[in-house]
Amino acid sequence: MDYIQQFDIRLEREMYYAGETLTGHVILDTNENFKLKAIRVLLRGKAHSEWKVVVSGERRTVKDDQVFVDERTTIWDKGEGLSILPRGHHSFPFKFHLPESCLPCSFEAKPCTVRYYVKVTIDIPYASPPQGMKYFTIIGPHIDCMDEQYLKPLIGSDRRSICCLCCQRGVVSLKTLVERTAYCCGESIRLKADIDNQSEENVRLKLKLVQYVEFYIERGVLGLNKEVNHTVLEYRGDCIQPFQKWRFESSNSFVVPVMPPTLVGICRLLQIYYVLKVWVEMEKSGDDLHMNFPLTIATCPFRIPNSNQQPIIDYDVCCDHVEGGLYIGPEFQLGQVYDGSLGMDNGETVVLYRPVYVCVRKNDTESVNESYESKHMPVPSAGPSCSLTNSC
């Protein structure tokens, strides 16, 4: 419409937590007086799963939705009559109170998305109503590293005898300690491992943090699901010679990158969880030692009680090698359309929206973790209360 020069939706912030009040303004800049019936605002948050399957040789699209927030308000309404909106600059405030219930975080992946947005409709009589949408990020669910269940260390131990026919040639043992089971993005995973190589072959320590994502669609009796996994972090230690002992301390070298938090039991279309894999690789026999430690990616970082040195929270987009950072919806990409001519492929694409996640500034988390480690981190041992087998 020519008489509307500007139509914009502005929010006070780009990210919100559950239970907070979302506030914003609808901005209208007009160069003519016109009749206006109502301005309606919709707040919605929903998960959407969609992918293609082959049924009886036919390729079909299956989809499912789950709505978390659906609220509406009217910020301009003259009832049955019409009102004249004078030309000029106008700002219409609105606000919504986000539910106190546990909301899943904003998430972008090709099979499933979790999106929150504000939609504004301008009801003009005898004309197509202009509409606008503004996406924002929900930070959730609330997972605090300071909860008691996450502060208990995990201690694992395993050993294996290297055999040649009926003769035992030596024992390889591994003792591992993970300081706590919940970490915020930007924090260093605090891990210690002791390896005692009494065999006649070289061994090597390996670490891997893996992200598992499960997508669901409730369709029919059993429904559909698919699972993907991505390596978040990986470490390959130095070669340990026969009849040697070796200790590994993660220090600040195993930093969790920015990625979605653990999401289990909140959204029926999506589950996200993480596993830390620790194993000793034996070069000749291939008879490795394996341990799996479940880790929780939290939204509230670790804090040292009664300390002036506390981590500073920041927000950033997901790293590009895990789910949550691999996919950007085409509706959020603004750029040139390739027409086959040379030089068009060099045009830059503007990303209109990407969800952000909680992270801790690097310098702050290093100083906090080092201070805590010097006082509280124990030496790995095969304690009977937390002893793990190689299958964990």
For residues 34 and 95, membership in a common domain is answered with: yes
Position 82 scores a pLDDT of 64
Whether 306 is covered by a domain: the verdict is yes
Q: How confident is the model at residue 365 (pLDDT cuts 50, 70, 90)?
A: very low
For residues 366 and 227, membership in a common domain is answered with: yes
Q: What CATH code is carried by the domain that includes residue 233?
A: 2.60.40.640
For residues 270 and 130, membership in a common domain is answered with: no
Q: Tokens 């503004």 map to which residue? A: 134
Whether 388 is covered by a domain: the verdict is no
Whether 113 is covered by a domain: the verdict is yes
Position 389 scores a pLDDT of 31
Which range (134-138, 198-202, 254-258, 277-281) has the least confidence? 198-202
For residues 39 and 175, membership in a common domain is answered with: no
For residues 241 and 97, membership in a common domain is answered with: no
For residues 104 and 226, membership in a common domain is answered with: no
8 A C-beta contact, residue 210 and residue 274: yes
For residues 153 and 125, membership in a common domain is answered with: no
Residues 6+ apart with CB under 8 A from 376: 179
Q: What is the pLDDT of residues 104-117, one digit of tens each?
A: 999 999 999 999 99
For residues 117 and 158, membership in a common domain is answered with: no
- Number of Cβ within 10 Å of residue 286's Cβ equals 7
Higher pLDDT, 311 or 16: 16
For residues 65 and 126, membership in a common domain is answered with: yes
Whether 317 is covered by a domain: the verdict is no
Tokens of 336: 């040139």
**Cα 190 to chain centroid, rounded:** 20
HEC per residue, 191-224? EEEEEEECCCCCEEEEEEEEEEEEEEECCCCCCE
Q: How confident is the model at residue 373 (pLDDT cuts 50, 70, 90)?
A: very low
Higher pLDDT, 350 or 297: 297
Instruction: Indicate the pTM of the whole model.
Output: 0.85
For all residues of the chain together, what is the average pLDDT? 85
For residues 132 and 201, membership in a common domain is answered with: no
Which range (285-294, 307-316, 341-350) has the least confidence? 341-350
- Tell me: pLDDT of 377 over 80: no
For residues 235 and 371, membership in a common domain is answered with: yes
Name the residue range of residue 167's domain. 148-312+361-376
Q: How many domains does the chain have?
A: 2
Higher pLDDT, 14 or 3: 14
Q: What is the pLDDT of residues 161-216, one digit of tens each?
A: 765 555 556 788 999 999 999 999 999 999 999 999 888 888 999 999 999 999 99
